[in-house]
Amino acid sequence: MIGLLQRVSQAAVTVAGREVAAIGPGLLVLVGVQPADTEAAADRLLSRLLDYRVFPDADGRMNHSLRTTGGGLLLVPQFTLAADTTRGLRPSFTSAAPPELGRALFEYLATHARSDHPTVGTGVFGADMQVSLINEGPVTFWLETHPKS
């Protein structure tokens, strides 16, 4: 699974003119699912999202995680993260998971995030979403977990 995480002071998702989720300080994570991904990959991604040290300490060093700061987590499904862009001028989505698998693993990730963290919001799988954010830093990291062989 792919998680493009951004440290934010605020972020929100709107669908059809209605805000469906919003957070204050925390992480906005765009989530991509690939065909070989599993629940174990989702578990590893969630663990990394909650424990990845991207928030500053008193000295300005990235020593605090979302788990220690208690900030919000906003998960947004984005199948385009798994696109193959190695050839031509148009992305191929053959490297993205089929919609059924993508939806199942995104919902699995969101459900487990809600049980492990106090403030979790989500975008809507398959919807045309508008995502707004204020990226702090800017701080953006690409995290990818792979199924165990």
Strand pairing class (2-15; 18-23): antiparallel
In terms of Cα–Cα distance, which of 115, 101, 112 is closest to 147? 101
Out of 34, 78, 122, 145, which one is annotated catalytic? 78
DSSP notation for 38-72: -HHHHHHHHHHHHH---EE-TTS-EEE-HHHHT-E
Question: Is 79 an annotated catalytic residue?
Answer: yes
Residue with tokens 């975008």: 123
Distance of CA 97 to the CA centre of its chain: 16
Out of 80, 85, 111, 130, which one is annotated catalytic? 80
Question: Is 78 an annotated catalytic residue?
Answer: yes
Question: Other CB atoms closer than 10 Å to residue 37's CB: what's the count?
Answer: 22
Question: Is 6 an annotated catalytic residue?
Answer: no
- Partnered with residue 111 across adjacent β-strands are none
- Residue 91 has phi, psi (to 5 degrees) of -70, 150
Out of 34, 55, 79, 106, which one is annotated catalytic? 79
> Which positions are annotated as active-site residues?
78-80
